[in-house]
């Protein structure tokens, strides 16, 4: 089905405006669509939360869905692995005391209340699941399968129904991607999703609702409208709404442009758009890669078969560790370069239990024991270079490294793999979104400069009616991004209720302030 149906405004025809457009169809966008579709979480009849204070608060309004309750009151005093209080609240309701090693069932059950449906559309570049469809298939997820699931459909139940064998609590990205894609179908959310869409601009429209402006609108705007039931879309002249432009790629490869209007926009793009770069000389050479998929392709094509120079891997996160494991398992020697000390407490390996993540602790053990600082010679299989950084790449496939003390070293390599994280690409926003982060005029990153939001509504503090959730606001784990959906839906539902009350008080007049 095409995303949009072309319609030219003529005469006095109104412009169709959807209440909210969601950009990104990964787990953040899917979860938000689920709750916008009218699914509401309630405290289960027999549920008892292990936190007595929180349970007492929940009992006070047991008859209300969590969406209709005071999220600030409920989340007060809670602690967890997210800096966003609603994310911590919703996680403890879905996974009580998970960080203490318990496997308690959720204390919530879900009801579909169709009168709470808020019309929306979810735009994504590929099938539902987002970046999970492009992740390396041979690696395991860092989180347990249960923590990757979305409300209303247990991952293990889905896997059993598909006769898929889940051999451990951690699963492969391919399984998770398939689960997310099927989740949209099982929950009946397909009508809200449009795949193969690429956003080119999201901008504000400031239009006055006088006759002169109406005339200007009719003369200048040729647009398309959503294939949705007319009663599902609020009809109004555009006033301070968002204009979302882009194109949809069809099966024959052609691009069909579209333009739509939205009262609200939710950013759920994740952070896998642009891989982090060293910004050093020679990084643009074709033998310098920035993704595991490129590295895997080189191995598959036999480019690293036999006796070859070492692969140079840059980075100290899990992606770099995956690359080390991949090279090690294929008998490819590795030079591993990273800026931090091996004893740095902020290294991700320090936060992972050895029994659950033995492969990553194997890498960490090599980082510590097979260091160039311990033995100045290169080891045959793996050598680490802690507290080093890349100065430049040479055209003859050599690399210049520099230590913290300033000492320079030159090594020959076969392929360089730079895995130092990734960043969202918000080029479609004004100033590429640099005005909405915690640090003014700096690019948005999931760690150092996430989007600044109201902690209970997830609305951008610097741009009204623009929301963000997931990694864009620092919630990099699926178990925490669900709180963003809760905050946004509660905010929109509350505003919708207030708007309805105003109309009733005014005797049912059509206008809204």
What is the DSSP track for 362-394? HHHHHHHHSBTTT-SSPPSSEEEETTEEEEEE-
Tens of pLDDT along 246-301?
999 998 989 999 999 999 999 999 877 688 899 999 999 999 999 888 898 898 88
Its pTM surpasses 0.85: no
Q: Specify the residue for token string 């070492």.
A: 310
> Is residue 472 a contact partner of residue 424, using CB atoms and an 8 Å limit?
yes
Residue 146 pLDDT: 65
Going from N- to C-terminal start, the domains of the chain cover 17-197+423-499, 277-420
For residue 462, the model assigns a pLDDT of 95
- Cα separation, 317 vs 139, whole angstroms: 14
CA-wise closest residue to 424 among 455, 454, 447, 458: 447
Q: Give the separation between CA 115 and CA 149, rounded to whole angstroms.
A: 26
What is the rounded distance in angstroms from the CA atom of residue 315 to the CA atom of residue 339? Answer: 8
pLDDT for 228:
46
Which residues of the chain have a pLDDT value below 70? 1-16, 133, 135-146, 163-170, 207-239, 273, 375-376, 507-513
Would you state the pLDDT for residue 144? 53
> In 204-231, which positions are buried (b, 16+ CB within 10 angstroms) versus exposed (e)?
eeebeeeeeebeebeeebebbbbeeeee
**Distance between CA atoms of 180 and 128, rounded to whole angstroms?**
6
| Inter-residue contact 145 to 155 (CB < 8 Å) | yes
Q: Give the architecture (CATH level 2) of 277-420.
A: 3-Layer(bba) Sandwich (3.50)
The residues facing 383 across adjacent strands are 335
DSSP per-residue letters across 422-477: EE---TTSGGGGTTSBSSTTS---SSSSPBPB-TTT-BBTTSTTEEE-GGGGT--S
> Reduced to 3 states, what is the DSSP secondary structure of residue 296?
helix
Helices (H) and strands (E) in the chain, counts: 12, 22
- Helix axes 318-329 and 292-300, enclosed angle (nearest 10): 10
390 by Cβ neighbours in 10 Å (0-12 / 13-18 / 19+) ranks as: buried
- Using CA atoms, how far apart are residues 177 and 179, in angstroms rounded to an integer? 5
Q: How far, in whole angstroms, is CA 104 from its chain's centroid?
A: 26
Cα separation, 305 vs 341, whole angstroms: 32
The tokens describing 152, both together, are 């209303």
11 conformational bin, left if phi > 0, alpha if psi -120 to 50, beta if neither: left
Residue labelled with tokens 């609590």: 169
């Amino acid at each position: 089905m095409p995303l949009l149906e072309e319609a030219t405004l003529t005469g006095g025809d109104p412009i169709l405006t959807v209440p909210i457009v969601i950009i990104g169809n990964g787990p953040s966008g899917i979860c938000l669509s689920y709750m916008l579709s009218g699914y509401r979480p309630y405290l289960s009849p027999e549920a008892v939360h292990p936190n007595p204070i929180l349970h007492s608060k929940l009992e006070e309004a047991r008859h209300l869905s969590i969406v209709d309750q005071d999220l600030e009151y409920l989340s007060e005093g809670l602690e967890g692995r997210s800096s966003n209080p609603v994310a911590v609240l919703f996680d403890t309701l879905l996974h009580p005391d998970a960080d203490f090693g318990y496997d308690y069932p959720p204390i919530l059950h879900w009801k579909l209340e169709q009168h709470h449906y808020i019309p929306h559309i979810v735009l994504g570049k590929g099938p539902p699941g987002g970046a999970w469809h492009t992740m390396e298939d041979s690696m395991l997820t860092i989180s347990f399968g249960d923590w990757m699931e979305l409300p209303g459909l247990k991952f293990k139940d889905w896997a059993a129904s598909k006769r898929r064998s889940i051999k451990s609590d951690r699963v492969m990205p391919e399984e998770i991607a398939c689960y997310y894609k099927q989740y949209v179908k099982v929950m009946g959310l397909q009508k809200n999703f449009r795949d193969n869409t690429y956003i080119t601009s999201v901008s504000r429209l400031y239009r006055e609702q006088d006759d002169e402006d109406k005339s200007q609108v009719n003369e200048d705007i040729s647009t398309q409208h959503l294939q949705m039931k007319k009663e599902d879309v609020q009809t109004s002249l555009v006033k301070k709404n968002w204009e979302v432009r882009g194109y949809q790629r069809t099966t024959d490869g052609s691009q069909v442009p579209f333009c739509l209007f939205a009262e609200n926009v939710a950013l759920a793009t994740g952070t896998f758009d642009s891989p982090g770069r060293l910004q050093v000389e020679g990084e643009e050479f074709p033998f310098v890669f920035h993704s595991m998929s490129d590295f895997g392709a080189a191995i598959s094509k036999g480019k690293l078969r036999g006796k070859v120079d070492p692969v140079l891997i840059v980075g100290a996160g899990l992606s770099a560790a995956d690359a080390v494991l991949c090279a090690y398992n294929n008998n490819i020697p590795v030079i591993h370069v990273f800026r931090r000390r091996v004893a740095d407490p902020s290294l991700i390996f320090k936060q992972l239990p050895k029994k659950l993540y033995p492969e990553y602790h194997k890498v960490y053990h090599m980082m510590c024991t097979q260091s160039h600082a311990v033995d100045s010679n290169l080891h045959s299989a793996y050598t680490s270079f802690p507290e080093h950084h890349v100065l430049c790449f040479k055209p003859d496939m050599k690399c210049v490294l520099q230590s913290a003390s300033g000492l320079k070293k030159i090594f020959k390599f076969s392929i360089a793999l730079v895995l130092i994280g990734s960043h969202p690409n918000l080029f479609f926003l004004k100033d590429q979104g640099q005005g909405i982060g915690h640090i003014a005029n700096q690019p948005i990153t999931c760690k150092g400069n996430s989007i600044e939001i109201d902690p209970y509504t997830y609305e951008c503090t610097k741009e009204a009616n623009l929301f963000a959730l997931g990694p864009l606001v620092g919630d990099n784990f699926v178990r925490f991004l669900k709180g963003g959906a809760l905050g946004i839906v509660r905010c929109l539902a509350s505003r919708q209720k207030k708007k309805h009350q105003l109309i009733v008080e005014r005797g049912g007049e059509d206008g809204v302030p």
